[in-house]
Amino acid sequence: MSPTIKTIKKMSVPILRKAGVRTAAVFGSAARGESDKKSDIDMLVEVPLGTSLLDLVSLEIKLGEKLGKKVDIGTYKSVHPYLKDRIFSEAITIYERRKRN
C-alpha cells in the first residue's frame, strides 16, 4: 500500500526541517491519489542558497528510507517551463518553515 499525503507529511517533516528545507510539496501520482506499490514519491523543495546537489541526493535517500519508497526531489526553480503549470496545480504543500521575527 502506498503512503497517503498525511503519512508522507508526518514522516517527512522532521527530515525536511533538519535539512533546512523552506518549503516542500508532493506532486504526481501521490498527490493525485493514484500511486501504487511501484510508484515513487515526487517532491518539490525550496532550499537555502548554497544547498548542493549532494545535499539534495542525501535528502532523497533519507526520505526514501523513512517512507519505504523511492523519492524523487526537484527544486521549484528547476521545474521545466512546459511542465510548470501541471506540476504546480497538483502540488500539495506538506511543509513550510515558519519565519522567525
User: For residue 59, is it within any domain?
Assistant: yes
| 53-84 confidence digits (pLDDT tens) | 999 999 999 999 999 999 999 999 999 999 99
- In a domain, residue 92? The reply is yes
Please give the sequence-ordered ranges of beta strands (E in DSSP) within the chain, or none if there are none: 23-27, 41-46, 71-75, 92-96
Residue among 84, 85, 89, 82 at smallest CA distance from 74:
84
Is residue 21 assigned to a domain?
yes
Tell me the CA distances in angstroms from 98 to 10, 31, 101, one per residue in order. 17, 23, 9
pLDDT at 80: 93
Name the β-bridge partners of 75: 45
**First CA to last CA across the chain, in angstroms?**
41
Residue 37 is part of which domain span?
5-96
Find the mean pLDDT for residues 21-45: 94
Residue 101 is assigned to a structural domain of this protein: no
Q: State how many domains the chain has.
A: 1
Asked whether the predicted pLDDT for residue 101 surpasses 60, the reply is no
CATH number of the domain to which 41 belongs: 3.30.460.10
**Would 42 be classed as within a structural domain?**
yes
Mean pLDDT within 5-11: 96
What does the block give as the cell for 6?
498525511
